């Protein structure tokens, strides 16, 4: 695919600040930006679970409160990274990161106690709908580690299609792993 499909101005991301987007609400979930009131201990315990961390490329393991604090401090109004809440309980995270070639890349995680409830799909749908309706981006990419069948199912439900394979370094595993690349066209 040509890079033109991913072209848009950074102003569509920066424009989010002007819209004061601090949360997205879905049928059952509320997606909120992490801030200073965020419970670092709870966040660290959830992300620090090996069954979560092993699937996340940019999460160190073990994951500590200091890591959570750095994550919160790095969060800015320009970010499209959210914590996922169900009945005011932190159950996961979802976000898109601005990558090379002017493209957004989707990532998410759900706490183990909440697996199987459709939260990854619902939270991702809420964010994808926002990107589709409020920005100029024409596509979102994603990838999953080979063997992560749950993530593969979520991405398929969301309408992503496989476009290839790659090798990516995972901080949690301290090694490079084989991944499957996908894309979702927003047109």
Domain parsing of the chain, residue ranges = 3-138
∠ CA 76-77-79, rounded to 5° = 70
Query: What pTM was computed for the model?
Result: 0.87
Averaged pLDDT for residues 99-110:
88
pLDDT at 21: 55
pLDDT at 187: 86
What share of the chain has pLDDT > 90, as a percent?
73
Averaged pLDDT for residues 82-95:
96
Handedness of CA 82, 66, 54, 183 (dihedral sign): positive
pLDDT greater than 80 at residue 111 = yes
pLDDT greater than 80 at residue 79 = no
Nearest Cα residue to 104 out of 80, 125, 124: 80
pLDDT at 7: 36
pLDDT at 181: 97
Q: Which residue has the higher pLDDT, 98 or 179?
A: 179
How far is it, in rounded angstroms, from Cα 138 to Cα 184? 9
How would you label 160-183 residue by residue, b for 16+ Cβ within 10 Å and e otherwise? beeeeeeeeebebbeeebebbbbb
Q: Which residue has the higher pLDDT, 23 or 141?
A: 141
pLDDT greater than 70 at residue 11 = no
pLDDT at 6: 34
Candidate CATH numbers 3.30.70.580, 3.40.630.30, 3.40.50.450, 2.60.120.20; the one for domain 3-138: 3.40.630.30
Averaged pLDDT for residues 63-70:
94
């Amino acid at each position: 695919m040509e890079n033109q499909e991913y072209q848009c101005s950074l102003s569509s991301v920066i424009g989010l600040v002007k819209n004061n987007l601090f949360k997205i609400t879905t049928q059952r979930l509320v997606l909120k930006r992490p801030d200073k009131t965020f419970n670092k201990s709870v966040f660290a315990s959830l992300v620090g679970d090996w069954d979560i961390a092993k699937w996340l490329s940019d999460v160190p393991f073990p994951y500590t409160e200091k890591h959570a604090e750095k994550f919160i401090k790095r969060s800015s109004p320009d970010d499209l990274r959210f914590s996922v809440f169900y009945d005011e309980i932190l159950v996961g995270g979802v976000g898109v990161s601005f990558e090379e070639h002017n493209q957004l890349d989707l990532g998410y995680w759900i706490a183990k106690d909440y697996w199987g409830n459709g939260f990854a799909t619902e939270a991702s749908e809420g964010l994808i709908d926002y990107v589709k309706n409020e920005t100029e981006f024409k596509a979102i990419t994603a990838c999953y580690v080979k063997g992560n069948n749950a993530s593969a199912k979520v991405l398929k439900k969301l309408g992503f299609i496989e476009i290839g394979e790659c090798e990516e370094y995972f901080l949690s595993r301290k090694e490079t792993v084989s991944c499957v690349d996908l894309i979702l066209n927003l047109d």
